[in-house]
Amino acid sequence: DIQMTQSPSSLSASVGDRVTITCRANQSITIYLNWYQQKPGKAPKLLIYAASSLQSGVPSRFSGGGSGTDFTLTINSLQAEDFATYCCQQSYSTPPTFGGGTKVEIK
C-alpha cells in the first residue's frame, strides 16, 4: 500500500492567515491526490481532486499543488468556517490510502 504522510499534524492560525498543509507519498502518485475537509461529527467533504482541481462549490481560497510525491493544500485568507481537519488521499493505486490528517485550530 502507498503510505501518505501529512505535516503538520496540527496548526494554530488566525482568521485571515494563509495556511499551507503538506502531504507526501512514499512513491510517485503522479497527480492522483485528493484533499478532504472534515468537521467534528460530520462526513469528509471533497475540496480538491487530481492535485489541483477545485471541486464544484468549494471557495476559491482553497488551492492545491504538486505532483509525483509532494503535494500542498493552501488556504488563502482563512475563514472561521475553515477550522477543521484536512486529509489527503491518493487514488493512484488500490487500495486508496489517506494521510493522518491536519487539524487547523483557532489561535
- 93 near another protein (CB under 8 A): yes
Query: With respect to another protein, which residue has the nearer C-beta, 14 or 56?
Result: 56
- 97 near another protein (CB under 8 A): yes
Interaction residues for another protein, span 10-69 (CB under 8 A): 32, 34, 36, 42-46, 49-50, 55
Could you tell me which residues are beta bridge partners of residue 85? 38, 103
Q: Which of 60, 64, 69 is nearest to 52 (CA)?
A: 64
Q: How, if at all, do strands 70-75 and 19-25 pair?
A: antiparallel
- 95 near another protein (CB under 8 A): yes
Residue 23 beta carbon to another protein: minimum distance, rounded to whole angstroms: 13
Interaction residues for another protein, span 73-92 (CB under 8 A): 87, 89, 91-92
Q: How, if at all, do strands 33-38 and 4-7 pair?
A: unpaired
Within 8 A by CB and 6+ apart from 41, the residues are none
Q: Write out the residues near another protein by the rule CB under 8 A.
A: 32, 34, 36, 42-46, 49-50, 55, 87, 89, 91-101
